[in-house]
Structure formats: structure tokens, C-alpha cells
Amino acid sequence: MFKQFVNDDSGYLTWALENPNGYIVNADEPATSPAYPMVHRATDKRMTSPKNQNYTTGRFFKVCSNDMNELEVWAKRERGRALNPCGHCM
């Protein structure tokens, strides 16, 4: 089952640490950029780096799951398009 994180950086970072085999969708709000939603591996350090802030606040939120197919279904249903794989970790 996927979990969506909005205004919950602590919960998001905990999920990423506890699910190293999972996937993280970075989604923009409003959905205006063709680069998003972008999917990353949970182990992509850019998605959890302490150098970054505001993971789930402001313009972006995260949708996380251990099941890539579930995230693809979410992207098509909620954003009307397929996930873009991260060029670094995928």
C-alpha cells in the first residue's frame, strides 16, 4: 500500500529509512512540470540528505511504496501520466 506524505518531513524520512527497497515519487503541486511525477529508489541519498529541507512542504510532496506498479497506478490516476524514472538512481 502506498503512503502519501504532505507536510510530514519526519514521517517521510522515517519511511525512507525503514524501506530501503522501496520507491519514492516526488510530485509537484500544482502538477505543472512535465518532469514530475518522478520516481526514485528510497536509497537515493538526494531524497533524504540532511542538506535538503522541505521534502513534503511547499511545492512538493512524496508518495512512497515498496510496489512500483502501485505507484504507476497512482501516477496515471492522480496525474494523468506515467512516472518519470530518476536518471541518477533508476
Q: How many CB atoms lie within 10 A of CB 50?
A: 7
Is 73 part of a structural domain of the chain? yes
- pLDDT for 75 equals 97
Q: How many domains does the chain have?
A: 1
State the pLDDT confidence band at 5, using cuts at 50, 70 and 90: very high
Which tens digits make up the pLDDT trace of 52-78?
888 998 899 999 999 999 999 999 999
Residues 6+ apart with CB under 8 A from 60: 26, 27, 28, 29, 54
- pLDDT for 50 equals 83
Domain that holds residue 29: 3-85
d(CA 83, CA 66): 15
Which tens digits make up the pLDDT trace of 12-42?
999 999 999 999 999 999 989 999 999 999 9
Is 90 part of a structural domain of the chain? no
* Cα 31 to chain centroid, rounded: 14
Is 65 part of a structural domain of the chain? yes
Is 14 part of a structural domain of the chain? yes
List helix spans (H) across the chain.
9-18, 68-79
